[in-house]
Structure formats: structure tokens, C-alpha cells
Amino acid sequence: MHTHIVPVGFDYDRLIAPLVREQLDVDRAILLEGAVGSEANVEYSQQLAAQLETDFQNLLGAETERISLADVYDYDAAFEEAYALINAELDHSPEAEVWVNISAMPRPVSFAFATAANSIMVEREGDRDRIHTYYTAPEKYLETELAEELREGIDLAADLGEQIDDDRIEEWLTSARDLLEEFDERGTTIGAKEIDGSYVVELPVASFSNVKPFEEVILFTLGEHGEFESVSELAQQLAKELGEEYTDSFRSKVLYNVDRLGPGGKGYIEQESHGKSYRTRLSRIGQLWVRAHSDDDHDRL
């Protein structure tokens, strides 16, 4: 069973042509559609997804499923979705392989899916050869060709405007010239969009590391309770939840594992010095780990 996970943006050829030309096995295709942006952009993306769904079925004989992503700029949600999808497909069969195409969709989704795939490779060492992340480059971009056609259209409309008295021609010329001027000055996009109060969407591309059972307990506890004022406070909470006596030995065990999970180790925990103590909380990648594993059936020690 070969499953291809395909985030759909504004591309068609790059999502299906390499599979046809390389004659890759495609038993199942999962098409991810974005639902954010202007009405025209969303509609255009959905039309492409519908065409891809038809062609994956007709050209490749693949079972096809379409899934909507509520926010294509939400890295954490995309990572969680990718992590769950890839693991679910791998669990279908020992022979299952998963192929993730990151050629389309906004960068947060592409990075999230690539990082999730890499993280699963780390966690499931025996399945590394069953996970493939790939990119396909386009033969050419249409933006510059569209711009050149628009320039020729402007020249043609200007000539017609000298012969035909129609205000619509002049209005179109003004609009088209303004659009071309923006294209020449700014490129293919305009401005910077604010997302969740910031113009910078940080992408934590570090992958997961293997986590031992007691480390899991620490991460889930931090995920549940948030920040602790000190490692001692964290150790007391852990002892309470695990039904263990809070001793110096237990505190040392927690401190050792927190160090292993910290910046000098796996990077799942970050600490801030205040006085003689260290405020302890999950790092961004630690938050992603907890979010991705929250539905798993873990045995806590």
C-alpha cells in the first residue's frame, strides 16, 4: 500500500506529473485543501483539488480522500495533522509506504509536514525506509508570462482606445497599468500579513528525538500544568501524580531527566534562571511533541 499525502496549493502538474512520469505506485492519495484566504483563492484551490481527485482516480487508479485544513498558516495544527496522518498510514500494514509531497501549499504546511515525517523517522527507526518526503520543481513559472501578455494587452487596448470612445477601455488600462507597476516593483506578492499578532511565523524545524518513558511523564506533566517555578516544584508534582515519596533521590532523578530534555539535550524543555531556581516549561518543539502524542496510549511510570 503506497499512500501519497499531497497538500494542494495553486499547482497541478507538480502534484501528479512526477508520479505518472516516474511510474510510482499510488494506491491511495490524501489531498489536503486550504480554507484560508480570499474567496477567489479558496475557490481556485478547491477546483484544483477536485481535478486532482479525478485524475488520481482515473490516471493512477488511486483511492482518493480530500481533507480540509482550517488554517494553512497554523504550523502546530498542520504538524499535528501530518503526524497523525503519516502514523495512521504506516500502521495500516507492515508493507505500507507513505510519500509526502511538499511542492505546494504555504510554507508553514510544507515545513510542518516535512518536519513531522522526519520526526517519525527518528521515532520509528525500523520504518525509515517506508517514509519518503519529496519536492518537484516546476518547468516554468507562469507569472512572468502572464505579465508579458498583460503588457501586450495594454498596448492593444491603448490602440483601440484611440479608435473607440468607451470609458471601460480607459478604466481597464488604468487598472492594468497599476497592476503591472506593482508587479514590477514588488514581485508576485504584496505586503506582509499579520498572523496571531505577529508578522513572523516561527517554524521549529528541529525533529523529535526518542523519548524514554520517564521523560514522557515529565513532558506530559509540563504540558498539563504549564510552567513550574523550579525543578523541585516539578518533582513534587510528579511524585504526587506517580504516588511516589518525594525524596532527594527522586528529585535528582527528575533533575537528571530535565537536563536531558533541556537545551543541551533534546531541546524539549527550556528554563529561565530566577534567583537560585529555574523556571521550567516546554519549548516550542516540546509543545509539538506533547500535542502530537496526546492521544497516544502511553504507560506512565
CATH number at residue 263: 1.10.10.10
- Flag whether pLDDT at 108 surpasses 80: yes
Residue 106 belongs to domain with CATH number: 3.40.50.10770
Give one DSSP letter per residue of 173-215, joined into a string: HHHHHHHHHHHHHH-S--S---BTTBS------PPP----HHH
pLDDT at 292 over 60: yes
Q: How many domains would you assign to the chain?
A: 3
* Per-residue pLDDT reduced to its tens digit, 234-257: 999 999 999 999 999 999 999 999
Same domain, 129 and 243: no
Count the Cβ atoms, other than its own, within 10 Å of residue 145. Answer: 10
The answer to whether residue 22 sits within a structural domain is: yes
**301 lies in some domain:** no
What's the confidence (pLDDT) of residue 207?
64
What pLDDT was estimated at residue 301? Answer: 40
In this structure, the answer to whether residues 151 and 116 fall within a common structural domain is no
Asked whether residue 87 falls in the same domain as residue 147, the answer is: no
Verify that 8 and 114 share a domain, yes or no.
Answer: yes
- Residue-wise pLDDT for 67-104, tens only, equals 888 888 888 888 999 999 999 999 988 999 999 998 88
| pLDDT tens readout for residues 40-68 | 777 888 888 899 999 999 999 999 999 88
The residue with greater pLDDT, 129 or 300, is 129
> Which of 161, 180, 208 is the last residue before a domain boundary?
208
Residue 186 located in a structural domain: yes
Instruction: Give 37's pLDDT tier (boundaries 50, 70, 90).
Output: low
Most confident stretch, 155-164, 204-213, 256-265: 256-265
Are residue 203 and residue 228 in the same domain, yes or no?
A: no
Residue 236 covered by a domain:
yes
Does residue 98 sit in the same domain as residue 17?
yes
Rounded alpha-carbon distances, angstroms, from residue 189 to 139, 145, 182, 194: 21, 16, 9, 14
Whether 300 is in a domain gets the answer no
Pick from 106, 38, 98, 46: nearest CA to 73: 106
Check whether residue 7 and residue 129 sit in a common domain: yes
Span 154-158, average pLDDT? 90
Q: 235: domain range?
A: 213-293
Collapse the DSSP code of 150 into the 3-class scheme (helix H, G, I; strand E, B; otherwise coil) and give the result: helix
Rounded to 10 degrees, the C-alpha dihedral 36/135/191/150 comes to -100
pLDDT band at 299 (very low <50, low <70, confident <90, very high): very low
Q: Is the pLDDT of residue 123 over 60?
A: yes
Residue 231 lies in a domain: yes
Domain membership of residue 246 (yes or no) is: yes
Residue 44 in domain: yes
* 165 and 179 together in one domain: yes
| Residues 121 and 187 occupy one common structural domain | no
Contact 280, 234 (CB under 8 A): yes
**Rounded to whole angstroms, what are the CA distances from 83 to 63, 116, 129, 165?**
21, 5, 17, 61
- Domain termination site, one of 87, 108, 134: 134
pLDDT averaged over every residue in the chain? 88
Lowest mean pLDDT segment, chosen from 144-148, 165-169, 246-250: 165-169
pLDDT in tens, 209-233: 788 999 999 999 999 999 999 999 9
In this structure, the answer to whether residues 122 and 145 fall within a common structural domain is no
Q: What is the DSSP letter of 130?
A: G
Per-residue confidence at 300, pLDDT binned at 50, 70, 90? very low
Query: Which of the 8 DSSP states describes residue 228?
Result: B
Grade residue 297 by pLDDT with cuts at 50, 70 and 90. very low
What is the C-alpha to C-alpha distance for residues 116 and 76, in angstroms, rounded to an integer? 10
Q: Where are the beta strands (DSSP E) in the chain?
A: 2-8, 28-34, 63-69, 97-101, 131-134, 269-274, 277-282
| 125 shares a domain with 173 | no
Please tell me whether residue 9 adopts helix, strand or coil conformation: coil
Residues 61, 89: one domain? yes
Q: Return the sign of the alpha-carbon dihedral for residues 267, 268, 270, 276.
A: negative
